[in-house]
Amino acid sequence: MKTRVHINLSVSDLDKSVAFYRNLLGVAPTKTQPDYANWRLDNPAIHLALVHIPGARIADTHARHFGIELFDDRELEGWKQRVEKAGLNVRTEQEVTCCYAVADKFWAADPDGNEWEFWVRHDEAQAMHGGKGATSAEGACCGASAAENAKAMAAGSCCAAAKQERPAQSACC
C-alpha cells in the first residue's frame, strides 16, 4: 500500500514560501493557485500544502518542527549541498543526542519560521538530550522555539543564543 503524509501550512507570503520549498525540496510545486500551492512527492512521500493566510503565525513556537529522516550519510550530505547551493541558510549539527537518538542533521527555517530537520540516526541514546553517550542535557539539539532558532542562526550559534535566553533549560535547538 502506497501512503503519503499530508502537511498543511498557513503561510503569510505565498511567493516567498513557494520559493523556499522549491529550493528545499528541489522541485517545483505540483499545483499552484493564487492563494495555494502543493507538492505531492514520492521521495520523500509527502503531500505538502501551503495556504496563503495574510498575517499567518506559527501556533506553537516552542516545539513544532517537521523532519525528513534519511538513512544514509551520503544522502544527507546530498540534500544539504543542494539546499545550500539553492541559497538557503542551514544549521548543521553533528553527532548530537536528541529524542533518545544520536544523529547528524541539518535544519532550515521557512519564511514563517517553520523549522525543517533532515537527519540520519547513527545510534540509540539513553538520554533525551546531550552529547554522544551523554546522560546529561548539555549540548541538546531539539526543542527551541522558532524565534530562538532564528535569533541563534542570525548570531551564528544555535545553542549559545538559546542558552543565553534560557540558561536554566538544557534544550537549545
Q: What does each C-alpha distance from 102 to 83, 130, 141 come to in angstroms?
A: 23, 9, 10
**Residues 145-162 pLDDT 10s:** 444 445 544 544 333 333
Q: Which CATH superfamily is domain 5-52 in?
A: 2,3-Dihydroxybiphenyl 1,2-Dioxygenase, domain 1 (3.10.180.10)
β-strand pairing of 5-11 with 45-52: parallel
Mean pLDDT along residues 31-53: 96
Q: Which tops the pLDDT comparison, 161 or 9?
A: 9
Mean pLDDT along residues 156-172: 35
Portion of the chain with pLDDT greater than 90, in percent: 62
Domain spanning 66-165, CATH class:
alpha beta
**Residues 88-133 pLDDT 10s:** 999 999 999 998 999 999 999 999 989 999 999 999 999 888 754 4
Q: Which of 91, 65, 83 is nearest to 153 (CA)?
A: 91
Distance in angstroms (rounded) separating the CA atoms of residues 12 and 6: 20
Residue 85 — very low, low, confident or very high, per pLDDT cuts 50/70/90? Answer: very high
Is the CB of residue 111 less than 8 Å from the CB of residue 12?
A: yes
Q: Which tops the pLDDT comparison, 83 or 56?
A: 83
Residue 64 — very low, low, confident or very high, per pLDDT cuts 50/70/90? Answer: confident
Asked, colleague to colleague, whether 5-52 and 66-165 share their fold, the answer is yes
Q: Is the pLDDT of residue 165 over 80?
A: no
- pLDDT at position 79 is 96
**Where in the chain are the domains?**
5-52, 66-165
Is the CB of residue 151 less than 8 Å from the CB of residue 172?
A: no
- Which residues on adjacent β-strands are paired with residue 36? 33, 51
Model pTM score: 0.72
Mean pLDDT along residues 136-148: 45
- pLDDT at position 138 is 39
